[in-house]
Amino acid sequence: MPEQDNLTAKQNDYAVFLPAISGFYATFIGKQRNEQYVDPARFPQGLTDMEQLNWLNSSKALFPYKWSLYSGGHANLDLGKTDWSEDMVRNRESGSFILGDSGGFQIAKGLWEGDWKANSGCPKAQKKRELILNWLDNVADYGMILDIPTWVIHDKKASKACGITTLEEAVAATKFNNEYFMSKRKGKNNGGAKYLNVLQGDNHTSAEAWYQEMKDFCNPEKYPNTHFDGWAMGGQNMCDVHLVLKRLVALRYDGLLQEGIHDWMHFLGTSKLEWAVLLTVIQRAVRKYVNPAFTISFDCASPFLATANGQVYFENVFPHNEKWSYRMAPSADDKKYATDTRPWAQGVVADGIYPRWQDSPISKMLQMKDICIYKPGDLNKIGKEGKTSWDSFSYALLMGHNVYLHLTAVQEANRRFDAGEHPAMMQQEGGDYAYFEDIVERIFAAPDRATAEAVIESYSSYWMQIVGTRGFKGKKTLNARTQFNALFDMVDEPEVVAVKSEHSEDFSSDEMANLDRLENEQT
């Protein structure tokens, strides 16, 4: 077996990135445990066990990494039925960590049908509440409560799908779900999950209103045995550092960041590389001044979404005082490579597909023919000659590669920061040219709430310089909606055009649908 690159051991005290595991990818791991889902003859040389691609398996993985997110929105919620495709999550190694997403996005998209208004009495909605709570309690270490994202009130199709048309209705529906979760949860002392109270809001005003309505669900004085156990940042809370810092100060002085009670905070869909460093800085400050057990996590599905669209990570870049980024571009997909035995890294650079190539433990095994499997005239699994040279396992191999490069980018960004390097947005462009970490230190070292809040507000212009996780900066961060245009990074190399940047949020709905298509084809 190739030597492991143990990414769990390299995590140190950084904010924790959670790969948002695709059901498509998990299917290969789980089904191979129970059947010959992929003929071993199809494996690239060096791959002898599908578990080598399962980073949650500490003994066999090429790159062990014990943390991940899995969404109940894509899961088989019926735990009474065997489902080999979900073994990667259901029967994972003891000591690994899964954050379970509750599926609020599915409600907003109308994929979980029903009238989700509070006290609607809708049997479809109630059945989903029961199923997702049971799934989270039995599968996840932490789970997110079943919130109604506030963006639905700005989307007529979404509003119609779930029956929620106003902020007040979204708040009331989420409180209804919270009360159900609180009363029916198994309880962490009985082997159930811990739960994160989701904070929504699409601007500073609505985010504050949401917080005031929801904060008591984490209050151990009001709910001594059933309170929620931490926080999940959604909507504006996950893309606006000004609001993030205001909220953390509020949580601190409201007594809602207590050690052993509120030890976890998750940022939903956060993929911008600089934010990996920003969140580490914040985590360290909270640990120093408030709660030494506090952990920040963040997730994205970009490694999987990119592959579904033929995009593969080819390098991570960290220019000092400039933009830090993972770079991806369209990959080799040509039937002429079906007999090409060149190492993958050699072939894609020699043929001008990428200007450079950063290897992963997976790509080191690959020859060109291991990805471009179909020759001209070859029929795919449905008996037709397709345009692509890839089969489904090609996608899985490149997804694993993308996950590795994303994980190592996050860890390398933090290592470089600790060595004194900075991405551009970590220093104010004007004024006192303060570094982000120094400002955060001042905020949390402040003797009282008013002083901390005053420090935050004194840097209002700087917060507007920081690009949010959804590509916004400036005044847009104060009034952002969650429906955004795709963003692109360009590089000054003619052989790579329109290199896509970091975010799952940068993928269009059509591009996201490609991953759904792959997942459906595997079931």
Tell me, yes or no, whether 8 lies in a domain. no
pLDDT value at position 505? 52
pLDDT value at position 499? 42
The pLDDT of residue 451 is above 90: yes
Return mean pLDDT, the chain: 90
- The pLDDT tens digits of the residues spanning 244-293 come to 999 999 999 999 999 999 999 999 988 889 999 999 999 999 999 999 99
pLDDT value at position 473? 53
Tell me, yes or no, whether 183 lies in a domain. yes
Hey, is 20 helix, strand or coil?
strand
Instruction: Give the confidence band of 344 by pLDDT, cuts at 50, 70, 90.
Output: very high
> For 329, what's the count of Cα atoms within 13 Å in the CB-facing half-sphere?
24
DSSP state of 15: P
Mean pLDDT value of segment 349-360: 98
Which residues make Cβ contacts (< 8 Å) with residue 423, sequence separation at least 6? Answer: 273, 274, 277, 318, 321, 322, 323, 324, 413, 417
Number of folded domains that form the chain: 1
Tell me, yes or no, whether 434 lies in a domain. no
Residue type for position 498: A
The pLDDT of residue 114 is above 50: yes
Q: Which of 277, 297, 314 is nearest to 421 (CA)?
A: 277
Q: Tell me how far apart the alpha carbons of residues 489 and 329 are, in angstroms, rounded to a whole number.
A: 10
Tell me, yes or no, whether 185 lies in a domain. yes
CB atoms within 10 A of CB 113: 14
DSSP state of 313: E
Which residue range is the domain that position 124 belongs to?
104-128+150-268
Tell me, yes or no, whether 288 lies in a domain. no
Give pTM, 2 decimals. Answer: 0.92
- The pLDDT tens digits of the residues spanning 21-48 come to 999 999 999 999 999 999 999 999 999 9
Residue type for position 52: Q
Q: How far is CA 92 from CA 29, 96, 128, 337, in A?
A: 11, 7, 24, 36
Per the model's pLDDT, the better-predicted residue between 340 and 271 turns out to be: 340
141 with 194: CB under 8 angstroms?
yes
Q: In what order do the strands lie in the sheet with 142-144?
A: 16-19, 295-300, 264-267, 230-233, 194-199, 142-144, 97-101, 67-71
Tell me, yes or no, whether 463 lies in a domain. no
Hey, is 261 helix, strand or coil?
coil
Share of the chain above pLDDT 70, in %: 92
pLDDT value at position 490? 29
Per the model's pLDDT, the better-predicted residue between 108 and 486 turns out to be: 108
- The pLDDT tens digits of the residues spanning 360-391 come to 999 999 999 999 999 999 988 778 888 999 99
Task: Indicate if the alpha-carbon torsion angle 189, 194, 105, 397 is positive or negative.
Answer: negative
Tell me, yes or no, whether 39 lies in a domain. no
Tell me, yes or no, whether 517 lies in a domain. no
- The pLDDT tens digits of the residues spanning 301-331 come to 999 999 999 999 999 999 999 999 999 999 9
pLDDT value at position 481? 35
- The pLDDT tens digits of the residues spanning 74-93 come to 899 999 999 999 999 999 99
Q: How far is CA 125 from CA 112, 115, 170, 182, 234, in A?
A: 8, 6, 14, 17, 22
CB atoms within 10 A of CB 91: 11
Gyration radius of the chain over CA positions? 23
pLDDT value at position 153? 83
Instruction: Give the confidence band of 522 by pLDDT, cuts at 50, 70, 90.
Output: low
Q: Classify 471 in phi/psi space as left (phi over 0), alpha (psi -120 to 50) or beta.
A: left
Mean pLDDT value of segment 447-459: 98
Residue type for position 109: K
pLDDT value at position 356? 96
Pairing state between β 194-199 and 325-330: unpaired
Q: Tell me how far apart the alpha carbons of residues 124 and 116 are, in angstroms, rounded to a whole number.
A: 9
Lowest mean pLDDT among 192-196, 245-249, 284-288, 469-473: 469-473
